[in-house]
Structure 1
Amino acid sequence: MSLQAQSVVIAGGGSTYTAGIVMMLIKNQEKFPLRRLTFYDTNQARQDLVAKACEVIIKERAPHIAFSATTDPKQAFSDVDFVMAHIRVGGMKMREQDEKIPLKYGVVGQETCGPGGMAYGMRSIPAVIQLIDYMEQYSPEAWMLNYSNPAAIVAEATRRLRPDAKIINICDMPVAIKKSMADILGLESENEIVDRYYGLNHFGWWTEMTDRKGNDLMPKLKEHVKNYGYAAVEEEGNPLLGEASWLDTFQKAKDVYAVDPETLPNTYLKYYLYPDYVVAHADQTRTRANEVMENREKHIFEECQRVFEKQTAVDTSIEAGEHAEFIVQLAGALAYNTYERMLLIVENKGAILNVDSEAMVEVPCIVSKRGYEPLCMGAIPEFQKGMIEQQVSVEKLVVQAYMEQSYQKLWQALTLSKTVPSAAVAKQILDEMIEVNQEWWPRLH
């Protein structure tokens, strides 16, 4: 029995990840067939560059897929089954500000954690809400799979502002970590691992890892992480993902693990547990944003231009991204009722028994045509509970600040963050961030 072909719009058509998503969609036509693929972006110049290359790729590898790219929301969102959203409001230049402004004050500069994440969240909220409204206006039966950052703040905003929307907020970071775990264990794929995990986006812990037969994988993983973190090798001459900052992040997991050796941590916890280390090892003049612009962005755009000029992608270096595989798996579960077990960001409602029921938590869920059903992770230890409750309040305060246009609430959010040392420093950072975000933030009072 053949599967019904789907219509997908990728919101963020000019993203450096879009071509990789297209490659993954093409690769998975037997599991998730497409009849139509549309790009949507407000930045036509960036989108055109990616779209011209993807048009060549689709003609060569999947000519049955109708392809188009547009800046018109009606055209983009009409006759759509899935919206795959990965937008970056303000682009990489504003990410650079998110990272560099906090560092000036001795505070973690990171795109999703701490002040940088809050600044990015204030820009992302209205844009994601607008995408939901377009979807509901033109294709009300569609699902939105949102992996726009900062996912935790965006998820809280959609819970508050569009509580009935058919949106699932996701993140590929646990998938990336599980891929490293599979390498450490000598497994062919992270899909061989069955896990139990609880927390918030970029803020969680694994409590159980088994293979499909139920064999416990935690002892071997813990022994490796204790010594090397999540890096599959010890030598620094093997840079993870080609960029040194990622190698450091995966290696630093050994120190994060030491804080609670009963669990295995998400790598992003280093920003909350070792902020002094992060700041001490940061280059205030060249942050992760600069790395991305000089490496991934430069490579992808140059390769897209080359593919377009040659009018062939036979020898392209563009590959299907690991986060794209996660998206295809999720869309397939919703479309074809495959009952996948996946980590999603969902309203708690008892999934973590001793945490705020309204918190947007990241836990394993069963995904089918019904949507998602969170699995109960039970009550969690006091250490993790305390950290989660503090961070949940930060995220709620950011969303309240946006909704109420409140300077006070956003100052409180920064002050409460575990990455910020004092209310005085929080205010200095906030005041400077207001200046650079005037084009995107609501006017705070």
Structure 2
Amino acid sequence: MKKSSILIAGGGSTYTAGIVVMLLEAMEEFPVRKIKFYDNDEERQRKVAEACAIIIKERAPEVEFGYTTDPKEAFSDVDFVMAQLRVGKYAMREQDEKIPLKHGVVGQETCGPGGIAYGLRSIGPIIEMVDYMEKYSPDAWMLNYSNPAAIVAEGTRRLRPNSRIINICDMPICLEDIMARVIGLKNRKDMEVRYYGLNHFGWWTNIQDHAGNDLMPKIKAHIAKQGYTEDTQAGQHKEASWLEAMRAGKELLEIEPKYLSNTYLKYYLMADETVLHSDKNYTRANEIIDGREKDVFEECQRIVSNQTAKDTSIHSSEHASFIVDLAKALTFNTKERMLLITQNNGAIENFDSEAMVEIPCIVGKNGFEPLSMGKIPTFQKGLMEQQIASEKLAVEGYIEGSYQKVWQAITMNKTVPSAKVAKDILDDLIEANKEFWPVLK
């Protein structure tokens, strides 16, 4: 049975240790011979890597482990690059959230002006890593979790159209696990879904069990009462700001009662309420800095100090399981049905063929095959066309160094009320992102 070599790019991420634990738990069905980390922040990566070295030694000592800041060492002899970059780290995420809020606009890391800001920081480093992979391990796949996935996917489509990169997102997966739990199923793999949209901008149109029974009525009944919240601590995303977004599922179902909406549509369809209930001085970034980031690094330090991980709180999650399932499907030709971000090419019949859409695909050894979603209704199509225009303008602005196009991208975004507000936000974002963005003229 083939054993894979894995590079986790963004080795200092708060999610890295969870992916390592998931890889070790999945060794029977997805054997691993080597795990490596790569990051440009040597000190941050070291804190996570030293703890993971102990976890690997205790649970799978046969697995080779290493970490580096050198691209050649990192990208040589790998089968999969699991990428989860956060360019500018949480300090810049804080700016992505607080600058729009200062102007009365939704402050969110992947939606609205904050998402565009983050996207313009992310495209270059992702392209750089694709080039490293193609140079040192040309047969490898890059499985990219780096946000904002929609803009990154459009950037790679434009700049590296033939690269072996698959852009993915765990948010639909987390929501599907919640759906499964609230109707008494073991997990999302007991369901078969039809879903279409853009990343963080989509709808479930059909959910069945493997016997073909319609599960939508039971799921809708739960969401109509309490959104996507549940009476359990299972799963990720339990912080206050996330729970607020989960509860919004109830209002989203009222707006679109036929389908189930991704919670991120809250930021577009309920923008005024979102801003009204936001704390402009303490945003989601601050929650993570004071919560998950602090907890993960304290736990890594505790493991290193005790030289054992036997009682660690670090565990696998939906985030980790999805990326491992994708690697397994590509390696062993499992033909699993998975939600991926891919060029439309007619999968959504009445939508832009070049758009990077999020739809179910069948995954096997030679890549993936998108499933046909047919024609979509006017409401969804109109929203998606506005959003894809914003994303495409942002990427064109990055490639051309065009102030005008980035201004238009922010103006086009449904979270922004006017061109004047868009310009004010853009000027503040340019100042904050001088170290990361191309010069816009």
TM range (shorter): over 0.9
Residues in 2 aligned to 1:245 and 1:17: alpha-carbon distance in whole angstroms? 19
Residues in 2 aligned to 1:389 and 1:195: alpha-carbon distance in whole angstroms? 23
Q: Assess if the C-alpha contact under 8 Å between 1:20 and 1:319 holds in 2.
A: yes
Amino acid at match of 1:273: L
Q: Which secondary structure does the structure 2 equivalent of 1:286 belong to?
A: coil
Amino acid at match of 1:93: A
Residues in 2 aligned to 1:256 and 1:411: alpha-carbon distance in whole angstroms? 29
User: What is the match of residue 71 of structure 2?
Assistant: 73
Per mean C-alpha deviation after superposition, the further-off stretch among 399-408 and 251-260 is 251-260
User: What is the match of residue 16 of structure 2?
Assistant: 18
* Cα deviation code 1:24-75 (max 9, x no counterpart): 0000001111111100000001000000000000000011110000000000
Of 239, 248, 270, which aligns to 1:274? 270
Q: Which secondary structure does the structure 1 equivalent of 2:387 belong to?
A: helix
User: What is the match of residue 428 of structure 1?
Assistant: 424
User: What is the match of residue 247 of structure 2?
Assistant: 251
Of 257, 260, 264, which aligns to 2:260? 264
**Offset at residue 241 of structure 1 (A):** 3.9
User: What is the match of residue 398 of structure 1?
Assistant: 394
Q: Assess if the C-alpha contact under 8 Å between 1:401 and 1:408 holds in 2.
A: yes
User: What is the match of residue 228 of structure 2?
Assistant: 230
Change (3 A) 1:400 1:225: same
Q: Which secondary structure does the structure 2 equivalent of 1:353 belong to?
A: coil
**Offset at residue 14 of structure 1 (A):** 0.2
State the TM-score, normalizing by the size of structure 1: 0.98
User: What is the match of residue 85 of structure 1?
Assistant: 83
Q: Assess if the C-alpha contact under 8 Å between 1:225 and 1:254 holds in 2.
A: yes
* Cα deviation code 1:227-254 (max 9, x no counterpart): 2111124x9x999744111111111111
Q: Which secondary structure does the structure 2 equivalent of 1:145 belong to?
A: strand
- Say yes or no: does 1:285 pair with 2:257: no
Q: Which secondary structure does the structure 2 equivalent of 1:103 belong to?
A: helix
Residues in 2 aligned to 1:187 and 1:251: alpha-carbon distance in whole angstroms? 21
Q: Assess if the C-alpha contact under 8 Å between 2:236 and 2:317 holds in 1.
A: no
Q: Which secondary structure does the structure 2 equivalent of 1:205 belong to?
A: strand
User: What is the match of residue 297 of structure 2?
Assistant: 301
Q: Assess if the C-alpha contact under 8 Å between 1:202 and 1:266 holds in 2.
A: yes
1:9-408 matches, within 5 Å, as 9-233=7-231, 241-408=237-404
CA RMSD of aligned residues (A): 1.2
Residues in 1 aligned to 2:234 and 2:191: alpha-carbon distance in whole angstroms? 25
Residues in 2 aligned to 1:199 and 1:430: alpha-carbon distance in whole angstroms? 26
Amino acid at match of 2:336: E
Change (3 A) 1:125 1:326: same
* Cα deviation code 1:163-210 (max 9, x no counterpart): 000000000000000011011111111110100000000000000000
Q: Which secondary structure does the structure 1 equivalent of 2:313 belong to?
A: coil
Residues in 1 aligned to 2:111 and 2:69: alpha-carbon distance in whole angstroms? 31
Residues in 1 aligned to 2:234 and 2:42: alpha-carbon distance in whole angstroms? 37
**Offset at residue 223 of structure 1 (A):** 1.4
Amino acid at match of 1:433: L
* Cα deviation code 1:82-102 (max 9, x no counterpart): 000000000000000000000
Per mean C-alpha deviation after superposition, the further-off stretch among 217-226 and 417-426 is 217-226
Q: Assess if the C-alpha contact under 8 Å between 1:17 and 1:321 holds in 2.
A: no
Q: Which secondary structure does the structure 2 equivalent of 1:13 belong to?
A: coil
Residues in 1 aligned to 2:248 and 2:237: alpha-carbon distance in whole angstroms? 16
- Return 5+ residue gaps in structure 1 as ranges: none
**Offset at residue 225 of structure 1 (A):** 1.1
**Offset at residue 441 of structure 1 (A):** 0.2
Q: Assess if the C-alpha contact under 8 Å between 1:82 and 1:143 holds in 2.
A: yes
Amino acid at match of 1:151: A
Aligned length: 441
- Say yes or no: does 1:440 pair with 2:436: yes
Amino acid at match of 1:29: M
**Offset at residue 112 of structure 1 (A):** 0.1
Change (3 A) 1:412 1:367: same
Residues in 2 aligned to 1:272 and 1:188: alpha-carbon distance in whole angstroms? 32
Residues in 1 aligned to 2:235 and 2:37: alpha-carbon distance in whole angstroms? 33
Change (3 A) 1:337 1:279: same
User: What is the match of residue 411 of structure 1?
Assistant: 407
State the TM-score, normalizing by the size of structure 2: 0.99
Identity %: 62
Q: Assess if the C-alpha contact under 8 Å between 2:235 and 2:317 holds in 1.
A: no
**Offset at residue 322 of structure 1 (A):** 1.1
Q: Assess if the C-alpha contact under 8 Å between 1:275 and 1:419 holds in 2.
A: yes
Change (3 A) 1:241 1:356: closer
Q: Assess if the C-alpha contact under 8 Å between 1:240 and 1:246 holds in 2.
A: no
Amino acid at match of 1:112: T
Residues in 2 aligned to 1:147 and 1:132: alpha-carbon distance in whole angstroms? 14
**Offset at residue 294 of structure 1 (A):** 0.4
